[in-house]
Amino acid sequence: MTTPRYTGDLDKLRDHPNFSWSLGAMNTYLRELDLRAVDAGIERAQRLIADGARHQDVMGALSAVENGLAKYPDLQKEQQAVTDAYAERYGLRGWYRYTSTQPGEEGQRRMYVNYIRTREDGDVGRYFASSGVAGGRYLDGSWVKVVDRDSHKVVASFGVGEPKDVAFRKARSWIYTTESGGC
């Protein structure tokens, strides 16, 4: 039996299960499968942009492409430039990048799309209230934390020493006041 070397024809490799695979051939095959999926994502994003789709949908597609390239940092950097240019052109907020700590993804750069807003939207929709795990309190004793969708950082906590419904009312009031510019 011979060990095939990748020649650019994935179907040839996939359709011949009797070949003995070398580690190099398998790694090449898996990389090309990843890149095929990324190419399909790029085509989808381009189609959405050409069709004038909502920014939420376009950013979701661009995020899928970036995350698909997480194992290939050099290629991911090129895609990040595309995403940054699109977001800058329309003044989009409500998304961010982070370094994953999930098992199997440690150290990989990821992109997360939350609620996409434009400059014209201002801060409306920027914050959301999050309750504790299984409806319980957080470790600091609070019932509710307010999270910034642009950075995914906690910006306020409510409910230490008070009922849960009061904490939620205070959180919603804080969000309304902050998003409306303190009016």
152 SS3 class? coil
Q: Identify which of 49, 50, 51 has the alpha carbon closest to the alpha carbon of residue 59.
A: 49
Which pLDDT score is estimated for 8?
Answer: 54
Beta bridge partners of 148: 127
Which pLDDT score is estimated for 176?
Answer: 93
Which pLDDT score is estimated for 1?
Answer: 27
Radius of gyration in angstroms for the set of CA atoms belonging to the chain, rounded to a whole number: 22
pTM, full prediction: 0.74
The Cα–Cα gap between 15 and 31 comes to: 17
**What is the distance in angstroms between the CA of the first residue and the CA of the last residue of the chain?**
76
SS3 content of the chain, % helix, strand, coil (to 5): 50, 15, 35
Token code pair at residue 33: 């499968």
pLDDT in tens, the chain (183 residues): 233 333 455 566 566 655 566 777 778 788 888 888 888 899 999 999 999 999 999 999 999 999 999 998 888 999 999 999 999 999 999 999 999 888 988 999 999 998 999 989 888 889 998 887 666 777 777 889 899 988 889 999 998 888 888 999 999 999 999 998 765
CB-based contacts of 50-55 (< 8 A; 24+ apart in sequence)? 54/116, 55/90, 55/92, 55/116, 55/118
Which pLDDT score is estimated for 142?
Answer: 85
Which pLDDT score is estimated for 34?
Answer: 86
131 SS3 class? strand
